[in-house]
Structure formats: C-alpha cells, structure tokens
Amino acid sequence: MNHHPPSPVGRVLTVVLGALPFTVITLLVFNHWGPLERWDLSVAARAASYGAAHESMVDTWQVIGAIVIPWTSRAVIVIVAAYLWQRRARSLTIWLLVTAGAELGLVQAVKHIFDRPRPAQMLVENDGWSYVSGHATAAFVMAGALGVVLPSVRGWRRRFRLLVMLPTIAVVWIASADRIALNVHYVSDVLGGWALGLAILTATSIGFGLRPGLRRRRRRTPVDENGTTVPPRAAVIVNPIKVGDGVAFRRKVTRALAVRGFDDPLWLETREDDAGNAMAKRAIENESDLVLVAGGDGTVRVVCAALAHTEIPVGVIPAGTGNLLARNLHIPLDLDDALERVLEGRDRRIDLVQVHGDDLDTDRFAVMAGLGLDAAIISGAPPHLKKQIGWTAYIVSAAKNINHPSVRVQITLDDEEPMDRRVRTVVIGNVGMLQANIPLLPDARPDDGLLDVVVIAPRRVTQWPIVAWRLMTRTTRHDMYVERFTGHKVEIVAAVDVQRQLDGDPIGPGRSLSAEIEAGALVARVPKRR
C-alpha cells in the first residue's frame, strides 16, 4: 500500500470519476432510458417465469440469499479490520470501518431518496425499496476493500492472495445473481449497487490517501564528484539463533533493499561470545548508510550501544522474545511489515542510557534496566520455554518468583537527597511499554531527554492485584505500592546483592546500578507518522 496520494486536483478528479458510473446509471434508471428499462423488464419476466416452474431453485436461492446477506459482508470487513488492528495497521483499520459504515448509510439513503418499487412478480416477500441492491453493494465493497488491503499484508504470498480474492469475487456475483433470480431486484438495481460500491471505495481511499499496489519507489541514490551513481550501503546484523529461516530471511531483506536502490548488503552474524559489538564496528568501517539489526533485545541493545553518536540510522527488525524497542518505536512484529515500515520510514533521534555498576563495565541500554524482581523473572525464564511460547515464558517465571523478597535500597535522582525504600523491584526506563502493551512507565518517551523510574513495593502477595491495577490504569499518583520519578541521572544502591538486567538480558547480581541519559545519542529508522 502506497501512502502517497495524488495532488488535490487529482484527488477530486479521481473521486468524480469513481462516482460517475453511479451517477450515469441512476440518471438512466430514473429517466426511463428505453434499452435499460426493456432489459430490466425482460430479465424480471424470465426470472418470474422460471421461478414459478422451478420451486426447488427458488428455495436454493433463498438459502444462498440468507448466507450472503449484507451483514455477512460487513462482518468480514470487521474481522479483517480487527486483524489489521492487531498488526498495528491503524490507518487501514479505520479506513475499513469507515468504508463499511459509509456503505451501510448510503445504501439506506439512496433507497429512501429514490423510492423505486421492487419488481411486481417477486418470488419471495421482500420489504423496502429496490434501488439500489444492498446485497450487491455490500458484497462489492467487501471485495474491493480486500483488493486494497491484501497487497498491504506483507508475508501473504501472491498465490494466497489470489486464493482469497477469487472466492470473494465469486461472492459478489452470487449475491447479485441471487437478487435477480429471486426477482426482488432489477438488473439495474444490481449495477447501481456495484457503481455505488465503487464510488464509496474511491472516495474513502482517496480521503485516507490510500492507493493499492505493490510497487516501490526507488530512493534517489547519490552521485560522486565524477557524476557516477553511488548506491547507498546497508549492513544487516543478524542473530542466527533468533532468526528462524535464515535463508528466507536473507532473501527477503536483500530483495527489499535492492528494490529501494541499496547495494548488496553487508551480512554480519553475531556469535555466542559477541552479541553484536564487533559486527556494529564492521558496519561503521563499511561506511554503511543504514544498519538493520535482527535479533533479541540483547542483540539490539549491543548494536545500538556501539552505534551511539555515529549518525548511522539503525532499523530494528523484530526477531526475539521481547522486541521491546521495536514495540515502543511502533515497528510491527511481522517481518514483512517491519521491513516495509522501516525501509520506507523516517529517521528519528532517540535517547540512550549510559549505565554502570559493581562488576559491570560501562555500557548503554535503549529500553529498560532493572534491579530486583523484574531481573529475577528475566533470569528465571527457561530459554527452551521462551523459544516455545515466546514472552509468555516470563509469566511462568513471574509465578515462580511471586514471593521474591523485598530489599532495602537507596535511590538518588540527579543531585537530590537520597531516598530510602524497601522495594520488590526498581526499573529505570527510556521507554515505557512492556509486552502486551502493559504501560510500566506511561509517561516515558524515547526522545524526551529524561529517565523514568518506577519503584514497585507491595508488602504482601495479596497486594499484587493492586499493583497490576495501578499499572494497567496508568495511575500516576504515588502510594505505598507504586512510585514514579524522572530525572537525568539515577543511582540505586541495594543493601544486599540482587539480580540486575539490561534490556531483558540478565547481567548478574550486584548491589548498585547507576544510569545517566544520553539525549539524542542514536538515530533510529522508524515508521512514518500516519
């Protein structure tokens, strides 16, 4: 789906052309144009005659009509809209719902405006007016909407799209033929319904700036001082354990980059002893114009840390269990969608956080660091379970660690006086959303130049539901269970050794964790605003 609408004049012209067939058919019908009127009456007479002689066929058409009612087509649109919403295709979702609503409203409006009686020899009882056919309009809008949406659903092969579209087109013909066979609509009612559906689809598509198609616009490539075209260079850093089908992944990414004018990418795989640091340095030496990183949160963190202050854009391709940075930057979790949105996206400068502590070299993180229960949950999630059921493995680990002991900590924000707390966990965040859209730090933004800190301190297990309610409702008030703070620097010192984590990676137990914001340290390639 290209979100590059034509000029204002082009928009108006497209809408006019889309509405022209409906306008012409309506004028011909209600000005009683001879050829069309004779066709309507002739087909209606033959349908009535055939139906009177073949009652079983009438029963069959009635059953078909009960299946392909307009509400069936609208239900399909709503189901597809829900699927697209889950895949974060918000604009397409809203467009689908608006289109379905427009179809419902306009069909009723047209019927009441023109008040055309139904054929006199109907084979079944049917109330209401004849022009236009609601069945035909709803089915046409459903088929047209799927025709716009399917090319935008990355990961669906063309053969699969064809297998979906062919039955959908068949439904349009069946729903329309059913109305004529039962003699409850004239042929012109069906044609008018199709034309009205076309007008609705055209107007709403143009209104939302949508144009169907799979074509990609190649980016303009720079030229050197001799006038020779120099294609942009990309590096792809991959954690092979996290990427399932490495061959298919490489083929997709290479093709997506080539279509946008990139040279053959530099492929770099992480190793067990290096989560991406050496690979990021190779990408820098390669003078890459874009670095794509595909792996878990640990790989993403290491690569982003190495590329801090280099001005090289980093695009995250989700491939791990958490994918927290991708989620917070609104990058879809589907591979094809992510490639599309990142490669067609914009550069956004985001913050990183420099962190250090006892037995921990100075490092950086992009998402969150934690001390206490959250780190214990991450450490306790079995790798084989994470591979099988994804991030829900953390729920299993959380249940095991529900009685994790509280610990006395001292928290210092910027140059303020230290605060003493007894806590279950303290999380320092650059962004705020966890898996399942849980707003741990609802006010955190990746580019606000601030650290957000949440202190979670229920005294008993029975108080965890209160904590969960506070988090899910984004309550900002402080109480004995949840406190939130912001600052540029934060230092946490625990009374005993506790588990710690950086961006979902356990870094071992310790007593201290210090963090300082690095505003605008990283250029991230993110989806364009919609």
Q: For the segment 303-327, what is each residue's pLDDT rounded down to a tens digit?
A: 999 999 999 999 999 886 678 898 8
**Averaged pLDDT score across all residues of the chain:** 84
More confident residue, 80 or 7: 80
Single out the residue of 303, 295, 349 nearest to residue 324, CA to CA.
Answer: 295
| % the chain with pLDDT above 70 | 85
Q: What is the mean pLDDT of residues 138-146?
A: 91
Contact indicator for 222, 230 with CB cutoff of 8 Å: yes
Mean pLDDT of 23-37: 94
How large is the average pLDDT for residues 345-372?
90
CATH of domain 234-351: 3.40.50.10330
CA pair distance 485, 468, nearest whole angstrom: 18
d(CA 494, CA 371): 9
The 3-state secondary structure of 128-165, one letter per residue: CCCCCCHHHHHHHHHHHHHHHHHHHCCCCCHHHHHHHH
pLDDT exceeds 70 at position 384: no
- 339 pLDDT exceeds 80? yes
pLDDT at 453: 92
Domain with CATH 3.40.50.10330 in the chain: 234-351
Q: For residues 220 and 289, is the Cβ–Cβ distance under 8 A?
A: no
Would you state the pLDDT for residue 436?
63
What confidence tens digit (pLDDT) does each residue in 239-290 have? 988 887 778 888 889 999 998 888 889 999 999 889 889 999 999 998 899 9
Ranges 271-275, 356-360, 397-401, 409-413: which has the least confidence:
397-401
- Name residue, tokens 């992009």: 366
Closest CA to 394 of 382, 405, 404: 382
Question: Using CA atoms, how far apart are residues 513 and 375, in angstroms rounded to an integer?
Answer: 12
Q: Which residue has the tokens 């037995």?
A: 359
Residue pLDDT, tens place only, 419-459: 999 988 899 999 888 766 677 888 889 988 999 999 888 87
Instruction: Note the pLDDT of residue 214.
Output: 36
Other CB atoms within 10 A of residue 428 CB? 27
- So what CATH class is 360-517? mainly beta
CA separation for the pair 370, 407 (Å, rounded): 13
pTM over 0.95: no
Q: How many CA atoms lie within 13 A of 303 on its CB side?
A: 36
Query: Which range has the worst mean pLDDT, 99-103, 110-114, 441-445?
Result: 441-445
Q: Which tens digits make up the pLDDT trace of 47-85?
A: 999 988 888 888 898 888 888 888 899 999 999 888 878
Q: Which of 77, 75, 70, 183 is nearest to 137 (CA)?
A: 70
What pLDDT, on the 0 to 100 scale, is given for residue 228?
59
H-helix segments, 345-504: 373-380, 383-389, 393-400, 464-472
Phi, psi of 457 (to 5 degrees): -145, 55
Residue 256 exposure: Cα atoms within 13 Å on the Cβ side: 22
Q: How confident is the model at residue 388 (pLDDT cuts 50, 70, 90)?
A: low
Distance between CA atoms of residues 290 and 257, nearest Å: 10
Q: If residue 94 lies in a helix (H) or strand (E), which one and from where to where? A: helix 90-114
pLDDT (0 to 100) of residue 3:
38
Q: Please list the residue range(s) of the chain that carry CATH number 2.60.200.40.
A: 360-517
